[in-house]
Amino acid sequence: MNAPIRPIWDIFCRVIDNYGDIGVCWRLARQLACEYPIEVRLWVNELSALINLWPTAKNVASQHLEEVHVLRWEAHNESVFLSSPASVVIEAFACEIPQTYQALMAANKDEAPRWINLDYLSAESWVEDCHKLTSISPSSGLKKTFFFPGFTKRTGGLIRESHLIEQQKSWQEKSSWLRKHGVTPQKEALLISLFAYENSNVQSLIQAWQEHPTPIHCLIPQGKITHSVNHVLRELKHDELGPETPLIQLGNLTFQSIPFLRQDEYDKLLWSMDINFIRGEDSFIRANWAAHPFIWHIYIQEENAHLEKLSSFLDRFLKSAPSELQLRLRDFWQAWNQDYLTPAHWHALLQVRNEWQWHCLQWREELSEIKDLATQLYESTI
């Protein structure tokens, strides 16, 4: 007997900048393919970004990877599109599905695919009102549904694989994972990961960390923030972090450069640290699930729109937190994202570190009560 034909889902991802778009789409594609009875095709315009996140990927027109059919989306080669569309089409972050593909979708309107625009993550209140709203495409007459990830039950939730929380809670391989990556922290050292965009506030952070009463061991995956760190190191007449000098000691502070990590390894980095500095969307979501203290460097938008998003998240995240933690964490996050951080911000925040850790655990439990994004997407189509 032949196996039943599984419905096909197409996810279109246009890499704009950094790794947020492809990071979210690749995690979502893998979860959908592994946990649901569907075939997933991921169309990516810039495979080099996927290769950085998942090094076994190749820069080829078509490949099967982690049960996902990954296809190169070439802007000027319409022949790459298949003769018929999928049953569900996800347009990630308004990336504009090509007109050729839309024509295929519209060819049989009675059985037209479910067309979903997966939007960026935000904690702003208007997201709840816009989640699952629809619009009609003027060119094709097809209906498009807007799907908003979020932090409440009136949104699409967050990416969370079925095994993720249990896997993190049972994580007991911190020491071996650190050794595997060449990390030997001093006894009782505070372990910090620093993954952020370029940020001049690093100067104040380094000053505070040098003065810290206990040792700090900071791991820096290769990326934009290394340029900011090296700028400060040059001013201090010190060697720069890099392949030839991966380890630098500054008083009570140890900087260690590590390679850019594939997604599953980055998760383990987050689980192994005491505090995580994270950036963008994908690493931000994973830091929430890691349930360790974290500090978000949000992607800058025109007219400071990102600061409203930052404040909206803090309002939700800190709603039930102790008042002193609310004050100090809000002060630090705002300063880190607005160029006025001082060593005093760090010292004040560390005084409430225990409360911060406890609150992150409670926050994860609250978030885990919301259906995850993949589940909500799948259930919306059946």
What residues act catalytically? 21, 281
Query: Is the Cα dihedral 240, 246, 250, 253 positive or negative?
Result: positive
Angstrom distance (rounded) from CA 62 to CA 51:
14
Q: What is the dihedral of CA 342, 345, 346, 350, to 10 degrees?
A: 170
* 3-state DSSP assignment of residue 254: strand
Tell me which H or E stretch contains 90: strand 88-92
Instruction: Count Cβ atoms below 10 Å from residue 149 Cβ, excluding itself.
Output: 24
Strand pairing class (275-279; 143-147):
unpaired
Strand pairing class (134-136; 143-147):
antiparallel
Strands (DSSP E) found in the chain = 8-13, 39-44, 62-65, 68-72, 88-92, 114-118, 134-136, 143-147, 190-194, 216-221, 247-250, 253-258, 275-279, 294-297
Specify the DSSP class assigned to residue 19: T
Query: Which residue, 34, 53, 35, is CA-closest to 44?
Result: 53
Angstrom distance (rounded) from CA 255 to CA 164:
29
Tell me which H or E stretch contains 202: helix 202-210
Specify the DSSP class assigned to residue 45: S
343-350 and 353-367 helices, crossing angle to 10°: 70
Number of H helices, E strands in the chain: 15, 14
Angstrom distance (rounded) from CA 140 to CA 107:
9
Angstrom distance (rounded) from CA 356 to CA 292:
8
Residue carrying structure tokens 């952020």: 196
Instruction: Count Cβ atoms below 10 Å from residue 46 Cβ, excluding itself.
Output: 16
